[in-house]
A and B are shown apart, each in its own frame.
Chain A
Amino acid sequence: MSEKYRLNRNLAQMLKGGIIMDVTTAEEAKIAEEAGAVAVMALEKVPADIRKDGGIARMSDPKMIKKIVNTVSIPVMAKVRIGHFVEAQILEALEIDYIDESEVLTPADESFHIDKRKFEIPFVCGATNLGEALRRIGEGAAMIRTKGEAGTGNVVEAVRHMRKINSQINNLTSLGSEELMTAAKDIQAPFQLVEYVAEHGKLPVVNFAAGGIATPADAALMMQLGCDGVFVGSGIFRSGNPAKRAEAIVRATTHYQDPEIIAEVSEDLGKAMSGIDVNGLTDAEKMADRGW
């Protein structure tokens, strides 16, 4: 493991137990930082608006990203399209802290993800199952997140991915060493990483929840399911009272095992984002199917 890759995995460890919030302006970034976000994701449109507006979604304007970097002291992340390594080169040149190679943007390559080992900057990637997570880690991702349907306000997909990954990890730990190569073949994952998971009973990198998280209870649910932290996208700045909701989700994540505190912070948050039923989406509208 290169020293840079190790440091990049370490940075993700320092984000554990925290909330990473989608922000579209410097003002929102400030609100997120003051509410206790551990990092912000700088993007031009939150996923809910990307869905609404349609068209091609791309990396954000560097000027807007720089403005956010200059506004907050917490780490700043930004998204690139799947496979768009030049967008990633640009973000690395901007010296942000983390890149999200994200299915929320329109994919730029239908077969290949970015070879993230060529970069010094850390990457986070989405995964719907263990094989996908390990393929991304094999390519150099230093952090994984679930791939819940962004912009829907519906947590069901993130829950599905987390449960799937957990159950696949549990399954691997019960296998004999002679069974691991076939397991690697079945889930289409690099053998060494399958071996690691079988031995340690966990991913070699931090795993956050993402997609559809809209309430403090959603965040605590994902934490109780075993996530290390939570991304909240449209759920905050498309709700009635962003500052209050952001703070409540931060607290619920710290005290995810304490229903009394979650109840207290859930009071009087105003209107949650209205949301979309995932079952009403056509296959073409589902973002989780992007990525290979």
Chain B
Amino acid sequence: MSMVLLMLKKWLIGAGKMIITVGVLALQGGVAEHLDHLNQIKNVRALAVKKPEELNSCSGLIIPGGESTTMRKLIKDYNFKEAIIKFNQQQKVIWGSCAGLILLAAEVEGEKEDQLGLLDIKVKRNAFGSQLNSFIEKNMIPKISDSVQELVFIRAPLITEVGKDIEILYQKEDQIAAVESRNLIGTSFHPELTDNNAFHQYFVNKIRNKIS
């Protein structure tokens, strides 16, 4: 491709005028909800990713909520670990929500199992207790949207420590629930379980900005 065409393609993607493919890791959990939200965004094709090679066509990836122990096992069994680490090294954007956040974390309190370890944070699983302690909070996350959003916490993890290159997107008192780094987003709540598309739009914009 000539230089001019390549620049044009990048500009079109950045301006949201060209279709990009965004994957949702489809091993277990709330996959369909993320796919639905992504498909509502113009010029985005959402793809349920079940095999590592399917990542090749994706410009960004969501690791959804679900059971982190189950997903961690399936990630390992189906050689997703290397593929996702490589995906990250290609400067492509990954967003982990709830279980996905746990899998991205460098450290999980009280556990030695191998995570993806891409995001320089420490997390605590089931930080609020059993399902009886799940809750919905209404608050604004200025960087994402200037309207109030529902933040749905289900048997949610919390971020207990962050590395120096990590930006905190949302915290309430000392409880950190959303972070961002150059190529990564992590949320302990579930934007895919609300009618609001702001978080998904923000994620897609981040992917487009990376490309252009």
| Partner-B contacts on A (CB < 8 A) | 3, 6-8, 10-11, 13-18, 33-39, 73-75, 92, 95-98, 120-122, 250-251, 254-255, 258
Other contacts beyond A16-B32, A18-B66, A254-B50: 20, CB < 8 A: A8-B131, A10-B154, A10-B190, A11-B134, A14-B30, A15-B67, A16-B29, A17-B27, A17-B29, A18-B70, A36-B70, A36-B74, A38-B28, A74-B67, A75-B131, A95-B132, A97-B131, A98-B131, A121-B132, A250-B70
A75 with B50: CB separation less than 8 A: no
Q: Are B131 and A36 touching (Cβ within 8 A)?
A: no
Chain B residues lying within 8 Å of A8, measured Cβ to Cβ, are: 131
Q: How far is the CB of A252 from chain B (nearest CB, A)?
A: 12
Complex Cα gap A234–B33 (Å): 32
Whether the Cβ atoms of B135 and A7 lie closer than 8 Å is: yes
Rounded to whole Å, the gap between the CB of A233 and the closest CB of chain B is: 18
* Total inter-chain residue pairs, C-beta < 8 Å: 98
Q: Which residues of chain B come closer than 8 Å to A39, judged between CB atoms? A: 67
A-B contact pairs, 12 of them (CB 8 A): A10-B154, A14-B29, A14-B30, A14-B65, A14-B66, A15-B66, A39-B67, A73-B69, A97-B130, A250-B74, A251-B74, A254-B50
Residues of B within 8 A of A18 (CB): 28-29, 66-67, 70
Q: Which residues on B sit within 8 Å (CB–CB) of A250?
A: 70, 73-74
B130 near A14 (CB under 8 angstroms)?
no
Whether A10 and B152, one on each chain, are in contact in the complex, defined by CB atoms closer than 8 angstroms, is yes
Which residues of chain B are within 8 angstroms of A10 by Cβ–Cβ distance? Answer: 134, 152, 154, 190, 193
Query: 0/1 per residue, B68-97, Cβ < 8 Å to A?
Result: 011001100100000000000000000000
- The verdict on B206 contacting chain A, using a C-beta distance below 8 Å, is no
B69 engages A36 (CB within 8 Å): yes
- What 6 pairs between A and B have smallest CB-CB spacing? A97-B131, A38-B67, A17-B28, A36-B73, A7-B134, A95-B130
Q: Interface of B with A (CB < 8 Å)?
A: 26-33, 50, 65-67, 69-70, 73-74, 77, 98-99, 125-126, 129-132, 134-136, 152, 154-155, 190, 193
Of all chain B residues, the one with the shortest Cβ separation from A8 is B131
> Contact partner of A75 among B30, B77, B155, CB < 8 A?
B155
Contact A13 B30 (CB under 8 A): yes
What's the Cα separation between A74 and B190 when bound, in Å? 18
- For B190, give the chain A residue with the smallest CB separation: A10
- Could you tell me if B132 and A11 are in contact, using CB atoms closer than 8 angstroms? no
Whose C-beta in chain A lies nearest to the C-beta of B110? A73
Q: How far is the CA of A84 from the CA of B114 in the complex (A)?
A: 43
Q: In the complex the two chains form, what is the Cα distance from A34 to B67 in whole Å?
A: 12
